[in-house]
Amino acid sequence: MNLIERVIAISRRRSPWICRLNAGSCNGCDIEITPLLSPRYDAEQLGVELHGTPKHADIVLISGTLTLRSRQAILDIYAQVPNPKAVVALGSCPASGNVFAGSPLVLSESLDSIVPVDVWVPGCPPRPQAILDGVARAAKLLEEGATKSQLESRRGRLS
């Protein structure tokens, strides 16, 4: 890795821009994201900035139960995030559907079957400290070139 590539890798860890996507949740996870950006938890100490558009994001925070309507939206938004990118799944809903599992409009698959998830943040809802830790872990994976999107692009170049 040359000097320029190293500087870019470090900047990905020190200033991750995040975009959040609610796939159909009760808003519990989204409510916990707000204090994350407040002075109490101070996500800006890690350089974290929340952006409304996925085209400027490094990390996508996805919360909520996966529904029939949200599946295509998740794929569209994931495609808009430039490479390299990381995905952080918030709460237990993206993994299992939680209390909404078995509902007719809820998919019976986990988020990982739709888009590659790099970090899972457990909880219902997860605490802001856990979300901050998940974002920090995703930023570290971006710096190391170890996100699933980076590994897949490397495999594609090798074949």
d(CA 76, CA 150): 19
Cis peptide, bond prior to residue 16, ω within 30 of zero: no
| Predicted TM-score (pTM) of this structure | 0.87
Number of domains in the chain: 1
Tens of pLDDT, residue by residue over 65-102, are 888 888 999 999 999 998 889 999 998 888 887 877 77
Tens of pLDDT, residue by residue over 111-124, are 899 999 999 999 88
Reduced to 3 states (helix: H, G, I; strand: E, B; else coil), residue 113 is helix
State the residue range of the domain holding 63: 3-157
d(CA 143, CA 159): 24
Tokens coding 51: 């952006």
Contacts of 157 (CB under 8 A, 6+ apart): none
**In angstroms, what is the C-alpha Rg of the chain?**
15
CATH number of the domain to which 105 belongs: 3.40.50.12280
For 62, the enclosing helix (H) or strand (E) is strand 59-63
